[in-house]
């Protein structure tokens, strides 16, 4: 929108000046005053358009602002060994359904020294909300997903604890996007590749090493917790009575948790 206005102004102002000069050279005083008044009125309209655009810029609700602040604090804890040891889990407030308020898009992008977290809102989540952006020094985004090998190793190491587990139990990624998505169920979903995935594990984070901070894409569970299809079952993240779930094991001191 702003780019279009700038282009229009770029064409209109030179034309208006040319018309003004021609009237000055060939018209009378009355015509000159009339032209001046019209040009000033025209300029005022562009000022009003600018004001309307500024007032229409995307913003976050008070609830979203709190959740974004909680997310920032949680991510900063994950990379700080004072709060989190290796292979530690953290439950925080999570992200409520963006469809209930103005939709947001949160993107995580690794730049070599840390992760930029950018927030967009407004129509089609196309406007950056720069006041809510932040940077997490030293953080590399990751997911407990990406391949059956990764999720099965994670399952074996932390949940069902069956068999051996290699070090391949998380997948580092360069970018992650979280937003309200209408493909299937209308709910917040997560994307770390080409498609959006269910995100029932939005309240949980995991770090293997105070560097990688992992999110939990999920798939619909079937009365149990397993990770043999490239994603953890949602039961692994939300069922507090399932003895192999993350909440159960954290609550019973069977997994490391951040303080």
More confident residue, 100 or 254: 254
Coil, helix or strand at residue 23: helix
- Statement: residue 182 has pLDDT above 60: yes
Closest C-alpha to 192, from 172, 212, 219: 172
Long-range pairs of 218-226 with CB within 8 A, sequence gap ≥ 24: 225/155, 225/159, 225/160, 226/155, 226/159, 226/160
Give, in degrees to the nearest 5, the angle at Cα 105 between 104 and 108.
140
- Statement: residue 129 has pLDDT above 90: yes
- Statement: residue 126 has pLDDT above 90: no
- Statement: residue 14 has pLDDT above 70: no
* Structure confidence at residue 146 (pLDDT): 92
Q: What is the mean pLDDT of residues 20-43?
A: 56
Q: Which residues lie across from 109 on neighbouring strands?
A: 116, 175
Residue 52: which pLDDT band, with cuts at 50, 70 and 90? very low
Residue whose pair of structure tokens reads 């029932």 in the numeric block? 200
* Structure confidence at residue 1 (pLDDT): 45
* Structure confidence at residue 45 (pLDDT): 55
* Structure confidence at residue 51 (pLDDT): 43
pLDDT digits (tens, 9 = 90+) for 55-90: 457 889 999 999 999 999 999 999 999 999 999 999
Residue 99: which pLDDT band, with cuts at 50, 70 and 90? confident
Q: What is the mean pLDDT of residues 33-50?
A: 54
Closest C-alpha to 130, from 139, 117, 114, 141: 117
pLDDT digits (tens, 9 = 90+) for 217-228: 999 987 789 887
More confident residue, 1 or 256: 256
pLDDT digits (tens, 9 = 90+) for 236-249: 999 999 999 999 99
DSSP 108-120: EEE-SSEEEEEEE
More confident residue, 50 or 80: 80
Element (H, E) at 54: helix 29-55
* Structure confidence at residue 63 (pLDDT): 92
Structure tokens at 132: 């809510």
pTM of the model: 0.78
More confident residue, 235 or 26: 235
Give, in degrees to the nearest 5, the angle at Cα 68 between 62 and 234.
115
More confident residue, 142 or 184: 142
Residue 175: which pLDDT band, with cuts at 50, 70 and 90? very high
């Amino acid at each position: 929108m702003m780019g279009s206005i700038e282009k229009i102004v770029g064409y209109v102002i030179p034309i208006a000046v040319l018309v003004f000069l021609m009237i000055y050279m060939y018209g009378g005083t009355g015509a000159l005053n009339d032209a001046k008044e019209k040009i000033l009125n025209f300029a005022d309209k562009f000022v009003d358009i600018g004001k309307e655009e500024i007032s229409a810029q995307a913003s976050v609700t008070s609830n979203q602002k709190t959740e974004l602040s909680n997310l920032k604090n949680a991510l900063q804890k994950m990379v700080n060994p004072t709060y989190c040891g290796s292979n530690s889990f953290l439950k925080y407030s999570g992200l409520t359904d963006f469809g209930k308020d103005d939709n947001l898009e949160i993107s995580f992008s690794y730049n070599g020294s840390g992760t930029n977290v950018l927030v967009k809102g407004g129509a089609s989540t196309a406007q950056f909300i720069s006041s809510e952006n932040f940077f997490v020094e030293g953080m590399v985004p990751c997911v407990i997903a990406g391949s059956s090998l990764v999720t099965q190793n994670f399952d074996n190491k932390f949940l069902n604890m069956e068999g051996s587990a290699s070090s391949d139990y998380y997948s580092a990624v360069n970018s992650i996007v979280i937003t309200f998505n209408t493909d299937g169920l209308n709910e917040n979903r997560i994307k770390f590749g080409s498609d959006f995935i269910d995100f029932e594990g939005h309240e949980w984070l995991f770090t293997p090493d105070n560097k990688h901070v992992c999110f939990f894409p999920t798939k619909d569970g079937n009365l149990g917790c397993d990770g043999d299809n490239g994603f953890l079952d949602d039961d692994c993240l939300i069922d507090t009575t399932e003895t192999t779930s993350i909440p159960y094991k954290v609550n019973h001191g069977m997994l490391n948790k951040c303080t």
